[in-house]
Amino acid sequence: MAEKKAAEGEPRQGREELVGKITHYFGKIEVGIVEITKGSLAVGDTIHIKGGSSDFEQSVDSMQIEHEQVEKAKKGDVIGLKVKDKVREGDEVYKIIE
């Protein structure tokens, strides 16, 4: 049986693992600051950001630590991540495990 692909905007089928939380948002440049609290996050991963008024998925196209491009972040790292929608402090960041 073929796996059904989610339409644009619909949540995917897959397991989600909490990896961090938003600690700040720079609206002008659309960058969220994420504190990685568990596991790891890498370029190419798909994430789901959820909060009081945030609820969207996106791919991790690039991330930075202290203005340096990195491919992977681990527990304890604080990263800058370009986001496609507004996020708020306290929003949770989940990695989608397919």
Domain spans in the chain, listed from the N-terminal domain onward: 15-97
The pTM assigned to this predicted structure is 0.84
* Residue of 1 and 45 predicted with greater confidence: 45
Give the C-alpha distances (Å, rounded to integers) separating 86 from 1, 14, 39, 75. 37, 24, 24, 24
**pLDDT tens string 66-95:** 999 999 999 999 999 999 999 999 999 999
Write down the architecture of domain 15-97 according to CATH.
Beta Barrel (2.40)
Q: What are residue 35's DSSP bridge partners? A: 21, 78
